[in-house]
Amino acid sequence: MKLIIFLFLLKQSFIYTLAVYNTLAYKKIVSPGEQLNLTYFGFDIAYVATTRSLIVTAPIADNIGQVYVCQIDNLHCKPIERNIVRDNSKYDHNYWLGATVEAGSSFFVTCAPLLVKHSENGVGTTGGCFISKDNLSIEQFVLDQNGSPKNTTFESRLSSFGWSLTISDQESIVVGGPAMYTGRTLLYMKPEASNSPYVAAGIDNDVDFNFGYSVTSGYFATSKLLMYAVGSPYGFGKVLFFGQQWRLFKQLKFKQPKTNVGEMFGASLCSARIFGQRSDLLVGAPGRASDKEYNVGAVYVFVANKLMALNYKRIITGRKEGSMFGSAIINVGDLNGDKKDDIAIAAPFENDGRGVVYIYCGAEILGLKEPKKPFNFLQMIESEDYYYGFGLGLGILNDYDQNGCNELAIGSPLNNTVFILPCFAYITVELYTEYPDLQNREIINAVAQNDVNETHFRFDTCLRVTFPKKPTKAYAELEVEIEISGDTKASLSDPNSDKKYIVKIEKTTKQSVEQFCKKIGVYLPTDGHYDSPIKFKIIAKQINDPQLQSNPDPSHVVVNENSILSLRHDIWAAQCKNKMSCLPDIHLDITNLFPEPYLLGSSETEDIKMEVTNHGEVAYSACLKVNVVNAAIVRASALSCTIGDQENTLTCISQKPIHKNDTWDIGHISLKMTDATNKDEFITLKVRVYNNCKTPKIFTLIEKQYKLTRDLNDIEIIGRTNLGSVINTTVEEIKFEKKILEHIYTISNKVANPWLGGPKFKITSMTPHFLHYTKSPVTAQTESGHYLSCSAIATTEKDMTTICSAEQLLKEDPIHVILQMYIDSSTADDLGALRNISMESKIEIFPDGLWNGPFSNISLSQSVVTTIIIERTTVALWIIIVASLFGLLLLSIIYCIVVKRTNFMRRKNKQKTNELRKSIRRQTIRRSMMAQSVYDRVPEEEQPSSDLQENAQRCET
Ligand SMILES: *[C@@H]1O[C@H](CO)[C@@H](O)[C@H](O)[C@H]1NC(C)=O
Ligand SMILES: *[C@@H]1O[C@H](CO)[C@@H](O)[C@H](O)[C@H]1NC(C)=O
Ligand SMILES: *[C@@H]1O[C@H](CO)[C@@H](O)[C@H](O)[C@H]1NC(C)=O
């Protein structure tokens, strides 16, 4: 058979929950030689400590009942000698010897409630009890009351004494006979067979039925006065208390909660010291159930917490229908070392009649721990195999193996079997640690305390073990595991021996408390971040747990649930005066590696250098946040720095603590200098210096400004004309051909730094009488197609002035300015008298819009002059005429050849040519709007169309 256990986890934080009874190492006693016949062997069990013998009853053996004395060592049982004779064959019923058995220190008492008695007045069932002092034979108690009147009738003395039985710690004996009349009880003051008892009858105590169904003794009213409790489960059930000489003790206030008829309140009683010095009372009601259920069972708890009173505290209910939880209740003594008695409660018919025994710890019963109804048991013991009535008989063995706790015997009488379960002795283990002071480690080191130096320290991990009085020898093995975490970089110096180690605990002296300590070394690297704590987690757990062993040594102890087995500590190792807050004194040095003021456009990138020095206490987590205005951060040499997404921030976090007089070299930081414009006066560097990154509100702000200058050399103006600076022409040409002359200026920014708010420039051109200007002669446009606003401000006889302004001048987007003019053909004849004429224009840029600073004396201007040379016709007229005729003739011949050859093709192309013409016209229009010469700069583009134009013209002539 196997016993299985369920442990109720009292507190999840405990690694162990104490299993009080070892279900792997039980012993089993079976009815000797009578396995075939059912004898109810195990119906009741008692233990005689002086002879170390277990008394097991078999009340239906051979129709009278039998009592066995069993030796636990060899599991051998011998029936006691009983000289009970059946001397009237009419009374052939079973006498039920062994219906109850109880033990005193050196004797036991067992009863046969259906025993038949002969006397001179007649024969009848009286029941009765027997005492055995030698474990061999039994002797019957007298039933007659002390000084009882002789004239009582025999019938009135018929009874069923022995259905219940208790022996007090003063060895007085109470026998209950509930079955006849209203029930009676007997009190024997001494364990002597000749001793006559006091009698108490239900009828005298307002009880109608079943007085004496259960009995127990205890110190219910005071801690000195021995009292008796008698239960009568009939009706609502009742418990009565009696004192000396079997007198009803009315002073004790006992207020019974509302019970139901039939729940059998008082069917079992158990006294136990849980709350204090007095006895508390547990009352079984095995028939209790809700309306829809039957025989679930319950136990009521009454606590001696007030003077002269037992107060109802709580009810513990059974778990299953029909289980009759509370049929038997037994005080098993203190199992877990909390100095409170623990209780076993049987539910003998749970699991289809197989039975379960529950162990409750006293503290739980009192409800000192979280009330968790109804399954707040410490251990649940049931049989896995088909043993029936498990728990109908319960007995405790007063520490048979001397390990400090009482073994439990559980009878399964429906299978003639008794199980003995050993219990575990316990120790209480308290894990604790002692850490040295880790601040100012160098100084401590100077004091030559060798547990601490700058890079190492040792601390104690200890187990303070409290041993119980018994067993005298005790041992256990615990494994201690140490874990270091956190951001400090601290680690175990010797992880092989310290990360996990085993402590062998042994009780060697008589001392009840012993410490088991080990020194654990910790390595503190110099670059550790000790402004955060070193996190220690220490866990101890029992290994080679005796609870998992089938043959444990009684001195192999279990670690008690009250033990402290895990610790977490945050240890500060900052080398500073104040705990957790060092006072560094850090300074930032910024050096620029470029001349100041910085001339914009002089370079693409420039470097600065940063360095932090500390003159105060250690800076464990220094950091910097750099913000740059008017430049971008493109590179930082230190790995500890990260550039922000917008490229204008940089965060640097020191990877190592900065000790006193130490330097944190952040290195070079490259700035892109091409973002600043003429409107920016400074490149500004704002640096927040944090002693401790983790306190983002505390920083010092350092601001550096680098003055910027700019000069107009960045701006370049190139002037050109569309037809060249010298043009040869004739008066006839001037007359018949309108030639547009253009002066083109290109203003460009040679550097990447933009110019903003300009440029504003002025174009001046002369206005002699022979020149004509188009309606808006000046157009200005950026290369990307943006028109500038231009306005003619003055046109005098001498010159014409137009002012244009741009919003910005970017390197990639130069400004083109075109001035268009032509010669008035009506003045051709006048001009013929002149050898040459020149047309001049000039552009000037105003620096004031671009630059706020002192004006540079560079004048930004450019001029373009076109000289027109008018040639005179000196050739004789006849030569001209002849040459012209000849030329015409030649042309006609070429014309005819070409026309004939290309007639076919031309017709075909005519349509094409027309389209082409349209397109050319469009282009021409456009070209007159825009600067033709702009396109002239890219002849590749323009060349094909002008060729076509020429061809087309030639063919139409
Ligand atoms: C078992 O019971 C049978 C009949 O009930 C009886 O004859 C026999 O003697 C019993 N055996 C023992 C060992 O008592
Ligand atoms: C216990 O007794 C019952 C009924 O007599 C029987 O069915 C069952 O097998 C027995 N259990 C064991 C383990 O012998
Ligand atoms: C730091 O420098 C100061 C001044 O130079 C000096 O007095 C001090 O001893 C130095 N401290 C350490 C820890 O080196």
In this prediction, residues 577-599 reach a mean pLDDT of 85
- Best residue for ligand 3 mutational test, from 586, 615, 660 (most atoms within 8 Å of Cβ): 660
Evaluate: CB of 130 within 6 angstroms of ligand 2.
no
What's the CA-to-centroid distance between 413 and ligand 2, angstroms? 11
- The continuous run of DSSP H or E covering 944 comes out as helix 939-956
Structure tokens at 555: 């001195």
Query: Does the beta carbon of 352 lie inside 6 Å of ligand 2?
Result: no
- The number of the ligand nearest the C-alpha atom of 36 reads 1
Which ligand has the nearest atom to the CA of 384? 2
Q: For the chain, what is the radius of gyration of the CA atoms?
A: 59
Evaluated on CA atoms 634, 636, 640, 641, the torsion sign reads negative
Which ligand is nearest the CA of 39, by number?
A: 1
With a cut of 70, say whether residue 416 has pLDDT above it. Answer: yes
Query: Closest ligand 3 atom to the C-alpha of 615?
Result: 1
Given the CA of residue 661, which atom of ligand 3 is nearest to it? 1
Ligand whose nearest atom lies closest to the CA of 662:
3
What CATH code is assigned to 31-212? 2.130.10.130
Nearest CA to ligand 2 atom 6: 386
Angle at 788 between CA 786 and CA 794, to 5 degrees: 160
Enclosing H/E stretch for 69: strand 66-71
How much is the pLDDT for 68? 94
* CA of 689 relative to ligand 3 center, distance in Å: 22
Kindly report the pTM of this predicted structure: 0.62
- With a 6 Å cutoff on the Cβ, whether 659 touches ligand 3 is no
Find out whether the beta carbon of 514 lies less than 6 Å from any atom of ligand 1: no
Q: How far apart are CA 352 and CA 742, in angstroms?
A: 118
Question: What is the band of 480 on the pLDDT scale with cuts at 50, 70, 90?
Answer: very high
Q: How close is the Cα of 439 to the center of ligand 3, in Å?
A: 19
Of 695, 931, 917, residue with least CA distance to 817: 931
Among residues 454, 438, 448, the alpha carbon closest in space to that of 526 is found at 454
Range of lowest pLDDT (76-80, 289-293, 631-635): 289-293
Cβ atoms 589, 610 nearer than 8 A: yes
Choose which residue among 28, 386, 416 to substitute to test ligand 2 binding: the one with the highest number of ligand atoms within 8 A of its C-beta.
386
Position with higher pLDDT, 695 vs 498: 498
202 close to 209: Cβ distance less than 8 angstroms? yes
Joined tokens for residue 203: 């009828």
* Cβ contact 593:608 at 8 Å: yes
388 CA to centre of ligand 2 in angstroms: 7
The alpha carbon of 637 and the centre of ligand 3 are apart by a number of angstroms equal to 29
Measured by CA distance, the residue closest to atom 5 of ligand 3 is: 661
Average pLDDT for residues 879-906, to the nearest whole number?
71
Ligand closest to the CA atom of residue 613: 3
Question: Are 454 and 445 within 8 A, CB to CB?
Answer: yes
Model pLDDT for residues 761-800, shown as the tens digit of each residue: 888 888 777 788 877 788 888 988 888 888 888 787 788 8
> 864, 745 in Cβ contact below 8 A?
yes
Query: Which pLDDT score is estimated for 802?
Result: 87
Does the beta carbon of 660 sit less than 6 angstroms from any atom of ligand 3? yes
Measured by CA distance, the residue closest to atom 5 of ligand 1 is 37
Minimum-distance ligand to the CA of 64?
Answer: 1
- Number of the ligand 3 atom closest to the C-alpha atom of 659: 13
Q: How far is the CA of 416 from the centre of ligand 2 (A)?
A: 9
List the single range of 26-40, 310-324, 663-677 with lowest mean pLDDT.
26-40
pLDDT tens, residue by residue, 220-230: 999 999 999 99
User: Using an 8 Å Cβ cutoff, are 420 and 72 in contact?
Assistant: yes
Q: Render pLDDT for 344-359 as a digit per residue (tens, 0 to 9).
A: 999 999 988 899 999 9
- Tell how far the Cα of 166 is from the centroid of ligand 1, in angstroms: 32
Transcribe 329-390 into DSSP letters: EEEEE-SSSSSS-EEEEEETTHHHHT-EEEEE-HHHHHT-SPP--S---SEEEEESS---ST
**Spatial contact of 237 and 209, defined as CB atoms under 8 Å apart:** no
* pLDDT for the residue numbered 7: 38
- Nearest-atom index, ligand 3, CA of 660: 13
494 within ligand 1 shell (Cβ under 6 A): no
H or E segment and range at residue 185: strand 184-188
How many whole angstroms from its chain centre is CA 689?
33
1 pLDDT tier (thresholds 50, 70, 90): very low
Ligand 3: distance of its center to the CA of 625 in Å?
27
Ranges in the chain annotated CATH 2.130.10.130: 1-28+251-415, 31-212
User: Which residue's CA is the nearest one to ligand 1's atom 4?
Assistant: 37
Answer whether residue 55 shows pLDDT above 90: yes
> Residue 35: nearest ligand to its CA?
1
Q: Give the residue, by CA position, lying nearest to ligand 3 atom 14.
A: 661
Predicted local distance difference test score (pLDDT) of residue 763: 87
What pLDDT score does 157 carry?
67
Give the confidence band of 324 by pLDDT, cuts at 50, 70, 90: very high
Lowest mean pLDDT across 381-390, 504-513, 715-724, 852-861: 852-861
Report whether residue 848 contacts ligand 1, using a CB cutoff of 6 Å. Answer: no
Ligand 1 atom closest to 61 (CA): 14
Asked if pLDDT for residue 579 goes beyond 80, the answer is no
Q: Could you give the residue range(s) of every CATH 2.60.40.1510 domain in the chain?
A: 589-709
| Spacing, Cα 136 to ligand 1 middle (Å) | 23
Residue nearest atom 10 in ligand 3 by C-alpha distance:
661
More confident position, 42 or 196? 42
Distance CA 147, CA 881 (A): 188
Give the pLDDT score at 896.
Answer: 66
Other Cβ atoms within 10 Å of 194 Cβ, number: 8
Q: Are 768 and 754 in contact (CB under 8 A)?
A: no
| Domain limits, CATH 2.60.40.1460, in the chain | 426-571
Max CA distance (Å), the chain: 197
Q: How far is the CA of 690 from the centre of ligand 3 (A)?
A: 22
CA of 83 to the centre of ligand 1 (A): 19
| pLDDT grade for 905, boundaries at 50, 70 and 90 | low
Instruction: Pick the atom of ligand 1 nearest to 34's CA.
Output: 13
CATH superfamily of 426-571: Integrin domains. Chain A, domain 2 (2.60.40.1460)
Ligand 1, atom 13, residue with closest C-alpha: 34
Q: How many CB atoms lie within 10 A of CB 289?
A: 22
Distance (Å, rounded) from C-alpha 910 to C-alpha 899?
13
**What CATH homologous superfamily does 589-709 map to?**
ntegrin, alpha v. Chain A, domain 3 (2.60.40.1510)
Q: If pLDDT is split at 50, 70 and 90, which confidence band does 937 have?
A: very low
Q: How far is the CA of 62 from the centre of ligand 1 (A)?
A: 7
Amino acid sitting at position 528: G
pLDDT of residue 928: 47
Q: Give the pairing of strands 53-58 and 66-71.
A: antiparallel
Q: At what angle do helices 877-929 and 939-956 cross, to 10 degrees?
A: 130
Q: Which atom of ligand 1 is the closest one to the Cα of 62? A: 14
Cβ–ligand 1 contact at 63 (below 6 Å): no
The number of the ligand 2 atom at minimal distance from the alpha carbon of 383 is 13
Decide: 165 and 395 in contact? Cβ < 8 Å: no
Q: How far away, in angstroms, is 38 Cα from ligand 1 center?
A: 9
Gap from CA of 661 to ligand 3 centroid (Å)? 6
**What's the pLDDT band for 858 if we cut at 50, 70, 90?**
low
pLDDT at 946 over 50: no
Of 40-49, 597-606, 742-751, 923-932, the one with minimum mean pLDDT is 923-932
Backbone angles phi, psi at 203, to 5 degrees: -60, -30
DSSP string, 722-745: SS-SEEEEEHHHHHH---EEEEEE
The pLDDT score that the predictor gives to residue 171 is 93
Q: What is the pLDDT of residue 939?
A: 41
- CB pairs under 8 A, 24+ apart, for 933-938? 933/720, 933/721, 933/722, 933/742, 933/744, 933/818, 934/744, 934/816, 934/818, 936/722
pLDDT at 850: 67
What is the Å distance from ligand 1's center to 78 Cα?
18
73 CA from centroid of ligand 2 (Å)? 26
Give the closest residue (by CA) to ligand 2 atom 2. 415
Cα 704 to middle of ligand 3, angstroms: 28
Range list of β-strands (E), 810-933 = 815-823, 836-846, 861-871
Question: Of the CATH numbers 3.30.565.10, 2.60.40.1530, 1.10.357.10, 3.30.70.270, which one belongs to the domain with range 712-871?
Answer: 2.60.40.1530
* Tens-digit pLDDT profile for residues 283-307: 999 999 888 888 999 999 999 988 8
Pick the ligand that lies closest to the CA of residue 585: 3
Q: What integer pLDDT is reported at residue 373 of this predicted model? A: 47
Beta bridge partners of 520: 459
Q: What is the Cα–Cα distance from 595 to 598, expressed in whole angstroms?
A: 6
Nearest CA to ligand 3 atom 13: 660
Q: What is the DSSP string of 441-477?
A: HHHHHHTT-TTB-SSEEEEEEEEEEEPPSS-SS-EEE
Q: Is the CB of 386 under 6 A from ligand 2?
A: yes
3-class SS at 645? coil
The answer to whether 95 touches 65, Cβ cutoff 8 Å, is yes
What pLDDT is stored for residue 450 in this prediction? 66
Q: Tell me how far apart the alpha carbons of residues 202 and 184 are, in angstroms, rounded to a whole number.
A: 6
Tokens of 777: 């002669």
What SS3 class is residue 599? strand
Q: Is the pLDDT of residue 819 over 50?
A: yes
Kindly identify the ligand whose nearest atom is closest to the C-alpha of 614: 3
Q: What is the mean pLDDT of the chain?
A: 82
Question: Residue 4: its pLDDT value, please?
Answer: 43
Nearest to 341 by CA among 366, 309, 318: 366
Atom number in ligand 2 closest to CA 415: 1
Kindly tell me if the per-residue pLDDT of 854 is higher than 60: no
Q: Look at residues 530, 506, 624, 639 and name the one whose alpha carbon lies nearest to residue 580.
A: 530
Q: Which of 441, 442, 586, 661 to mutate to test the pocket of ligand 3 (most atoms within 8 A of CB)?
A: 661
What confidence score (pLDDT) does residue 69 get?
A: 95
Q: Is the CB of 385 under 6 A from ligand 2?
A: yes
- Model confidence at 467: pLDDT above 50: yes
- Cα separation, 273 vs 259, whole angstroms: 25
- Assigned fold of 1-28+251-415: Methylamine Dehydrogenase; Chain H (2.130.10)
Does ligand 2 have an atom closer than 6 angstroms to the CB of 417? no
As a whole number of angstroms, the distance between CA 128 and CA 120 comes to: 18
> Which amino acid is it at 162?
G
**Spacing, Cα 414 to ligand 2 middle (Å):** 8
